[in-house]
């Protein structure tokens, strides 16, 4: 493999060839930054989603419950959350090519071409201008450094403008009329949690601290939408809002930073592939924020955000809805009196499901040279952790006759209620193994003539390619244990 850009391209091709991810509506040449998950990709994604959900709502010592809120929400939600006014990125257009750039991306790409010290200085200057929303200053910076458009090659730029990332659509029977009918596709799942805070707290008799988790689609009209499923216009988020007593946010922020990193490590990904990135420019709602970044083939990039959101969201919903978003804390404080009524503070953990799929794929993908000078040979293997693999067991009768398929189908009937199996009787066994390697199946079992005599089978391990003989009646247990 020459370099990591090649690896990234190879993963994209592999995903298409083996039924993981297709461009959306591909027969019409696709839709930019929208993707469909195929037969293997949807299983992989579901396994990751289920693992996150179980970890959050079942395995925590802390009290966390899940909800499933609608994508459409009352439009005032997005006034209160700040998204109508603030959820925008500064953009600049090249007048010659008409290509639009996110200002930070344009400057960062330019900075990458500079020596390290100069690069740091430029990025610091950019951060400062972004922080004060000094758009004229950003434009001057771009012009002064003669940054050019990659398409036209010119430095003929428009002014810097804000561009809101929310998709709008019309609600109800009458279209094209007053703004009353306008709704947004949610740009994050978090607000569905905030507007249900009291519903869940009261109906579940929840005591602070507690969390509410949600998984669902979110939509952003991303301007620079490339890099495969890293930046999509329709994507899925897995978010958890943890409601706490004001003043305890620092310790809970640290707690969730650490807990979430443990989750990442539990995917079998080594620690050196991750790093924390603390935000210099805080979002409008945050008093502390960091990203967990993973070293993708395209470099270290954000997979998850952890944000200390203060009481920003609940307080604003209280103001806009005129409904009290308070919690009565009966526990006694240091002064011997109950903490009483307050609007809870919130720590948020927010991870993109699609980016996690891309992370797991990047980590699993390996091209291996297995050949000798006399006999060239290679394979592509996806080394997924067994619990995430789309198919757990390949069941392969050596031949299509002599009663072998019958035994194989008995095994299939025994196993398929517990985990996903793939049955195949066509082609040479070596070819069948390679196809299972390419979709990341951790175990294959071959049924041959000896099976008829002594009820043993050959089990073949994906990563080591080792094979051993085991009793047929142990297969199910062995795999069930490996995926537990």
Which residues are at the interface with ligand ATP (CB under 6 A)? Answer: 188, 220, 222, 231-232, 235, 237, 302-305, 350-352, 354-355
The CB-of-108 to ligand ATP minimum distance in angstroms stands at 11
- Complex with ligand ATP: residue 36 or 222, whichever CB lies closer: 222
* Contact between residue 124 and residue 141 where contact means Cβ atoms under 8 Å apart: no
The CB-of-101 to ligand ATP minimum distance in angstroms stands at 14
- Complex with ligand ATP: residue 62 or 302, whichever CB lies closer: 302
45 sits in which H/E element: helix 39-57
- Complex with ligand ATP: residue 231 or 260, whichever CB lies closer: 231
Dihedral angle sign, alpha carbons of residues 85, 86, 89, 90: positive
The CB-of-400 to ligand ATP minimum distance in angstroms stands at 44
- Residue 445's SS3 state is strand
DSSP state letters, 265-281: HTTT--GGGEEEEE-SS
Q: Give CA 426 to chain center in angstroms.
A: 36
Reading the block at residue 467, the tokens are 């094979």
CA-CA distance, 130 to 112, in Å (whole number)? 18
CA-CA distance, 420 to 427, in Å (whole number)? 21
The CB-of-41 to ligand ATP minimum distance in angstroms stands at 15
CB-based closest residue to ligand ATP: 352
Our CA dihedral for 394, 36, 273, 125, rounded to 10 degrees, sits at 180
CA-CA distance, 155 to 98, in Å (whole number)? 12
The CB-of-303 to ligand ATP minimum distance in angstroms stands at 5
- Residue 64's SS3 state is strand
- Complex with ligand ATP: residue 105 or 168, whichever CB lies closer: 105
- Complex with ligand ATP: residue 232 or 395, whichever CB lies closer: 232
The CB-of-295 to ligand ATP minimum distance in angstroms stands at 15
The CB-of-336 to ligand ATP minimum distance in angstroms stands at 41
- Complex with ligand ATP: residue 231 or 462, whichever CB lies closer: 231
- Complex with ligand ATP: residue 96 or 302, whichever CB lies closer: 302
- Residue 194's SS3 state is helix
- Complex with ligand ATP: residue 237 or 316, whichever CB lies closer: 237
Residues contacting residue 364 through CB under 8 Å, at least 6 positions apart: 382, 383, 384, 440
Residue 151, Ramachandran bin (φ over 0: left; ψ between -120 and 50: alpha; else beta): alpha
The CB-of-232 to ligand ATP minimum distance in angstroms stands at 4
The CB-of-75 to ligand ATP minimum distance in angstroms stands at 20
- Complex with ligand ATP: residue 283 or 482, whichever CB lies closer: 283
Reading the block at residue 247, the tokens are 């003043």
CA-CA distance, 367 to 380, in Å (whole number)? 5
């Amino acid at each position: 493999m020459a370099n990591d850009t090649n690896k990234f391209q190879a993963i994209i091709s592999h995903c298409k060839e083996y039924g993981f991810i297709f461009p959306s509506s591909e027969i019409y040449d696709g839709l930019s930054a929208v993707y469909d998950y195929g037969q293997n990709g949807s299983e992989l994604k579901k396994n990751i989603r289920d693992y996150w959900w179980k970890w959050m709502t079942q395995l925590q010592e802390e009290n966390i419950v899940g909800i499933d809120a609608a994508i459409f929400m009352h439009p005032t939600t997005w006034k209160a959350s700040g998204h109508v006014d603030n959820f925008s990125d500064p953009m600049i257009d090249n007048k010659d090519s008409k290509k639009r750039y996110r200002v930070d991306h344009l400057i960062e790409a330019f900075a990458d071409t500079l020596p390290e010290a100069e690069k740091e200085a430029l990025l610091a200057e950019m951060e400062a201008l972004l922080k004060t929303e000094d758009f004229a200053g950003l434009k001057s910076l771009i012009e002064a450094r003669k940054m050019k458009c990659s398409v036209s090659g010119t430095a003929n730029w428009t002014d810097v403008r804000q561009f809101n990332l929310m998709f709008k659509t019309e609600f109800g029977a009458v279209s094209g009329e007053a703004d009353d009918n306008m709704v947004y596709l949610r740009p994050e799942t978090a607000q569905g949690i905030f507007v249900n805070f009291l519903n869940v707290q009261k109906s579940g008799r929840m005591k602070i601290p507690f969390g509410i988790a949600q998984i669902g689609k979110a939509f952003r009209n991303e301007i620079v939408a490339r890099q495969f499923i890293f930046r999509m216009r329709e994507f899925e988020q897995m978010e958890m809002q943890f409601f706490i007593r004001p003043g305890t946010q620092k310790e809970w922020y640290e707690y969730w930073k650490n807990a979430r990193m443990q989750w990442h490590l539990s995917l079998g990904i080594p620690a050196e592939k991750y790093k924390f990135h603390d935000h210099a420019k805080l979002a409008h709602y945050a008093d502390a924020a960091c990203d967990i970044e993973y070293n993708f083939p395209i470099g270290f990039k954000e997979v998850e955000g952890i944000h200390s959101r203060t009481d920003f969201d609940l307080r604003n919903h209280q103001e806009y809805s005129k409904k009290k978003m308070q919690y009565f804390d009966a526990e006694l404080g240091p002064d011997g009196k109950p903490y009483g009524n307050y609007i809870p503070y919130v720590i948020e953990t927010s991870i993109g499901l699609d980016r996690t799929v891309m992370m797991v794929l990047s980590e699993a993908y390996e091209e291996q040279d297995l050949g000798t000078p006399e006999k060239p040979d290679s394979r592509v293997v996806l080394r997924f952790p067994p619990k995430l693999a789309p198919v757990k067991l390949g069941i392969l009768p050596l031949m299509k006759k002599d009663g072998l398929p019958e035994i194989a189908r008995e095994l299939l009937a025994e196993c398929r209620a517990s985990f996903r199996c793939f049955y195949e009787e066509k082609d040479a066994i070596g070819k069948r193994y390679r196809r299972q390697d390419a979709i990341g199946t951790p175990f294959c079992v071959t049924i041959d003539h000896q099976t008829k005599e002594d009820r043993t089978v050959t089990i073949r391990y994906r990563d080591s390619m080792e094979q051993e003989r085991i009793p047929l009646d142990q297969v199910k247990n062995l795999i069930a244990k490996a995926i537990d």
